[in-house]
A = this chain, B = another copy of it.
Amino acid sequence: MKHDTIVLDHGSGGLLSHELTEKIMLPAFDNDMLSRLDDSAVIESQKGRMAFSTDSFVVDPLFFPGGNIGDLAVNGTVNDIAMSGAVPLYLSAAMIIEEGFAIRDLETIVASMAAAARCAGVKIVAGDTKVVPRGAADKIFINTSGVGWIAQGVEISAALARAGDCVILSGTMADHGMTILNQREGLAFDADVKTDSAALNKMVARMLAAAPAGGLRVLRDPTRGGVATALNEIALASNVGICINESALLVRKPVAGLCELLGIDPLYAANEGKLIAIVDKDSADTVLAAIKQDPLGGDACIIGEAISDHPGRVVMETAIGGRRIVDMLTGGQLPRIC
């Protein structure tokens, strides 16, 4: 590369844009669909239902224990596609970069994207890079969009929970959110706090393979707004009540310590490698066992149930035997968590 930092001409569409594409993007993402450099990638499509999702990532800081904005951006969209029951296959990556951004940091981020894509079994086939002057953006923002296809017979939606269904959470809460806050607040809790960012598509594939037809109703990854907000969305979309047991919720010790210190309720903190599943009661054990077989699902457990009472609302039975309403996040969370 001719420069050590991004200059405006890297986004001009001209020679330097081409250099950036050819020297950094193409070698990292390495596939025929991208390297044709036509205005669109051309993909072999399947008949049937396709999932299509988009997400922009503006996390601050860019680098944090366990990951960076690059793998976060890939895993985030892979997971959104997987949560519709689809098999994610193709992603786009669009970057908005601030003038002066270090090329070396860009290379690190792009390498993480490529590694995350390989790990999830998806290809990054389309891209775009814009550069804005100093001060017009904070370092780098990444949008990923993606597609995948849904197998016949798979019907997953936030609207499909029914009273009597079990609510499964695939692991601990708040790891990602508290990692970012820990970094940002300079708390230097260097304890074992790191992001849980990971692709969940293989876990979902295990669940779909194990569940009887119709047994798996809802999948959602509790990112921004945390488990509490995701459960509220499901309760509203399905018009059921949801009751969860506080004692079934897991938070890793150093994460719990940070939550207490910062006054953050882990129920509202972001996760980037966890899923909530709502499953038919009769399928719950089978699906739970499938999750636990996945390397990312060892801590999965049933955290509650969908009920016919108080449709649209989430309540929690607390560890000391009380009940409290768990509202949707109303504010107060720090921005730029993902």
Contact = CB atoms under 8 A, between A and B. Distances in A.
B58 A158 contact: no
B39 A53 contact: yes
A28 interface: no
26 contacts: A8-B335, A14-B225, A14-B331, A15-B330, A17-B224, A18-B328, A37-B237, A38-B83, A39-B79, A39-B81, A39-B83, A40-B52, A40-B81, A40-B84, A42-B150, A43-B52, A45-B149, A53-B126, A56-B96, A56-B143, A60-B136, A94-B145, A96-B96, A132-B335, A143-B145, A145-B145
A313 to B, nearest CB: 14
A333 B220 CA distance: 44
Given A11-B335, A14-B331, A145-B54, A80 B36 contact: no
B39 A44 contact: no
Contacts of A149: 45
A303 to B, nearest CB: 19
Contacts of A51: 40-43
Interface residues of A, number: 88
Interface stretch (A85-93, A243-251, A258-266, A287-295): A85-93
Copies of the polypeptide in the assembly: 2
A152 interface: no
A209 to B, nearest CB: 20
A159 interface: yes
B143 A52 contact: no
B330 A14 contact: yes
A84 B36 CA distance: 11
B150 A39 contact: no
Contacts of A285: none
B42 A49 contact: yes
